[in-house]
Structure 1
Amino acid sequence: MDFKLSKEHRALQEKAREFTEQVLFPYEMEVEENNGLSPESHKYINGQVMEWGFNATNHSKEHGGTGYTLFEQALISEQLGMSTGAIWDAVPQPSFPMKFGTKEQIEEYLIPTCQCKRRDAYAITEADAGSDPTMCQTTAVKCDGGYKINGEKWYVTVGNIADYLLVHTHIDGDPNKATVFFVEKDTPGVSIKRTPEFTHHFAFKHPEFLFEDVVVDESKILKGIGEGFNMTKDWFVEARLGIAARCVGGAERVLKEANDFAANRVQGDRVIRDYQVIEHMLVDMTMDIMAAKSLLYRVCWEISGDMDRKLKHARASAIKLWCSEMVNRVTDKGVQILGGRGYMRENAVERLWRDQRVDRIWEGTSEIQRNVIGGQIKKRGIELYTGWAYEE
């Protein structure tokens, strides 16, 4: 067994680190002070994304992306996750299910999105449908000209800058006919109900959208009627792995900041890291990151191969649960070590403390992940999680 990163993977990791520090870090305080990224800054970062070759890491070169494996995507996302204000979202990963589009859909939507010329937003969550998309109330009914969509979607991340949406609906209100439509944001009947503010200062917004008698052509259906639920679950796998990787990166930055501070902050005639209580916090933070990173690399490497779809879902739930809870433990200790400085918004540790709280909620809460894992244990046994990959 050889767990070392290859020379190529180390080079990719270093490139992503340099990109994050040189391109993203300088805009952190703009996001914090202005509660968002200006159009000019966003345009500049988009240009840098293309120049550095980090556009659409999750899509093939044939479709205008960079064609990285899930493991390589994790290496990149880990570094991007060190930035605050979720500026990592200025490095777009077009929604995974779009690869199932028709030739016309790929040319109209996927390729220009992979080239940073367009931007998508996935509209799933509703007031009464969060982690369980089967509770979706947004409907699509056959009509003259295609389908008529009615409903409301919440927390549509980057919905303020996206020019089109992927809208998860139920045909005729039937959950067995879950269907995703491409919907241009300027289509008559599409409107933003409101744009709520959240704990973090995010580079972009999460508007609530209304769909009132929105007519879309049948050609805007992605993959087919009834395919929406499986596509959304597949999207969740990719999204959860991305969250896990960014959580590891965020935790690493917090640990570095806390470790450096503890090595230089003097209280009682000695640096505070010489106090055992501080040293033990640093140890716990380090061990948390070590365990999470080991899990992240292992699972992303496994999923990059040929793995059963249900097994991918099961493993993605585990990694998302562990890493999102880990980063909250680490950031809380980081704030404590920095004391009053750790509570100042000008400090990256404080910003990450706010940023990372949502990771235990979006793309499936920690409680939902435990339900998924518990169900898998009942069906497949504990070896699914405690065993080790091997070849027959």
Structure 2
Amino acid sequence: MANLTETNSFQSSLSLKHQNLQRKAQRFAEEVLMPYESQCEENDGLDQASLYVINQDVLNWELNAINHAKEDGGQGLTIFEQMLINEQLGKVTNAIWDTVFQPAYPLRLATEQQKKEYVIPTNQGLRRDAYAITEEQAGSDPSQCITRADRVDGGFRINGEKWFVTVGDAADYLLVHAHVDGDPSQATVFFVDKDTEGVKVKRTPLYTHHFAYEHPEFIFEDVLVDEMKILGNVGEGYDLTKDWFVEARLGIAARCVGAATRALESANDFAAERQQFGKSIRNFQAIEFKLADMTVAIMAAKSMLYRVCSDISESYDRKANHARAAALKLYCSEMAGNVCDQAVQILGGRGYMRENAVERLWRDVRVDRIWEGTSEIQRTIIGGQIKKRGLGIYVG
């Protein structure tokens, strides 16, 4: 596979530390994860033996919990450094990048007891979390959640249902967004172990992609948890969920740039080798212009990605970070969808074959315009920020 990173004459704009981190992530993606792509595609997932081997490799390469502090068992990387890694992981199809576990950002606010029970083991690859927010009637608007946590002696009783719980099949505990006593202003996040009585898997739907993990639907029937299972405080759930969205959206944006880059590399290589009418098809203007447009789109997205992640690494402005992450997720996800679609077109019939990475990338990135906030929701956030803060937050 062609390597844009090593041939980039502007590589020196990154510090030596960041260049080394980027190369490490690239090697891990290519040497460790990509060999599992065919297995994951053919079997609609990875078997437990493969997941175990990858988990050990993640630990050995020190890529576990890159978004958490070293004292909690993570790698303590900045937002910018996390982005460098996620960009390379995004080149891997079938979401096998998710085996490089990055426990939810809000876990940083766990108590010392919660860190011992949940956070540190999760960062060390001994446990796995999954964030449970979406419901049948509540997706883009979490305030519409009807999952409730009613106060009882000694704690809370949780009742409700959650959809699209990504990694819910592999996780052994869930971070459940629920409304205390049914009050949306009392949104709260709870630790809920999957083996707790009353936690049930309703069903595991099939999706367009063949991902390494699944997205089950969960039912909570009179699930009892004590007050020690609250993450943060009662009423902070919405802010914690927004923080999680920011981190998730930044990760999606980075992986979209990586996915688009691999698709462009594949299309460029194919166009150079494919001969029609006595010459390489890259010499036909119809193909040449596609490659040019794809390249410029990635250039723009990557510039935006690096700038915003660098800024957020230095910023503690929660609202500004939320606003910029929305713009980044919107632009990069839509760019990746278009680039991957054009790559399929350039490869023609071969681009429609699942054995080729561009076909899998084309399917994989479609969800990036939907999950963790649709493109329409990102535009709503951006429009709202312009009304409140003016254009400067984006173009200043």
State the TM bucket, normalised to the shorter chain.
over 0.9
Could you say which residue in structure 1 is the equivalent of 2:315?
306
Could you say which residue in structure 1 is the equivalent of 2:335?
326
**Preserved CA contact (<8 Å) 1:145 1:215:** no
Q: For the residues of structure 2 that align with 1:6 and 1:235, how far apart are their CA atoms?
A: 28
AA aligned to 1:374 is: G
Deviation digits for residues 320-379 of structure 1, max 9, x if unmatched? 000000000100000000000000000000000000000000000000000000000011
**Preserved CA contact (<8 Å) 2:315 2:321:** no
Residue 337 of structure 1 pairs with residue 331 of structure 2: no
Could you say which residue in structure 2 is the equivalent of 1:68?
77
Task: Give 1:76 deviation, angstroms.
Answer: 0.1
Q: For the residues of structure 2 that align with 1:139 and 1:384, how far apart are their CA atoms?
A: 36
How many residues matched?
A: 386
**Preserved CA contact (<8 Å) 2:151 2:157:** yes
AA aligned to 1:157 is: T
Could you say which residue in structure 2 is the equivalent of 1:223?
232
**Which of the numbers 197, 210, 227 marks the counterpart of 1:188?**
197
**Which of the numbers 56, 67, 91 marks the counterpart of 1:58?**
67
AA aligned to 2:196 is: T
Q: Report which stretch shifted further, 304-313 or 146-155.
A: 304-313
**Preserved CA contact (<8 Å) 1:318 1:369:** yes
- 4+ residue segments displaced more than 3 Å: none
AA aligned to 1:31 is: C
Residue 43 of structure 1 pairs with residue 52 of structure 2: yes
TM-score, structure 2 normalization: 0.97
Q: For the residues of structure 1 that align with 2:335 and 2:291, how far apart are their CA atoms?
A: 14
AA aligned to 2:262 is: R
Q: For the residues of structure 2 that align with 1:304 and 1:96, how far apart are their CA atoms?
A: 14
Residue 105 of structure 1 pairs with residue 114 of structure 2: yes
Q: For the residues of structure 2 that align with 1:247 and 1:3, how far apart are their CA atoms?
A: 23
Root-mean-square deviation (Å)? 0.9
Q: For the residues of structure 1 that align with 2:25 and 2:63, how far apart are their CA atoms?
A: 8
Say which SS state the counterpart of residue 296 (structure 1) adopts: helix
Say which SS state the counterpart of residue 235 (structure 2) adopts: coil
AA aligned to 1:318 is: A
AA aligned to 1:36 is: G
Summarize the Cα distance change of 1:317–1:3 in structure 2 as closer, same or farther, 3 Å threshold: farther
Residue 93 of structure 1 pairs with residue 102 of structure 2: yes
AA aligned to 1:82 is: K
AA aligned to 1:218 is: E
Q: For the residues of structure 1 that align with 2:315 and 2:349, how far apart are their CA atoms?
A: 49
> Which runs of structure 2 are paired with 1:286-297 in the superposition (5 Å)?
286-297=295-306
Q: Percent identity?
A: 65
Q: For the residues of structure 2 that align with 1:5 and 1:131, how far apart are their CA atoms?
A: 37
Task: Give 1:3 deviation, angstroms.
Answer: 8.7
Could you say which residue in structure 2 is the equivalent of 1:263?
272
Q: For the residues of structure 2 that align with 1:12 and 1:178, how far apart are their CA atoms?
A: 38
Task: Give 1:307 deviation, angstroms.
Answer: 3.5
Deviation digits for residues 294-342 of structure 1, max 9, x if unmatched? 0000000000003311000000000000000000010000000000000
Task: Give 1:190 deviation, angstroms.
Answer: 0.2
Deviation digits for residues 273-302 of structure 1, max 9, x if unmatched? 000000000000000000000000000000
Task: Give 1:145 deviation, angstroms.
Answer: 3.5
AA aligned to 1:376 is: Q
Could you say which residue in structure 1 is the equivalent of 2:281?
272
Residue 146 of structure 1 pairs with residue 155 of structure 2: yes
**Which of the numbers 348, 367, 378 marks the counterpart of 1:369?**
378
Gaps of 5+ in 1: 388-392
Task: Give 1:20 deviation, angstroms.
Answer: 0.3
Q: For the residues of structure 2 that align with 1:3 and 1:375, how far apart are their CA atoms?
A: 38
Could you say which residue in structure 2 is the equivalent of 1:390?
none
Could you say which residue in structure 1 is the equivalent of 2:367?
358
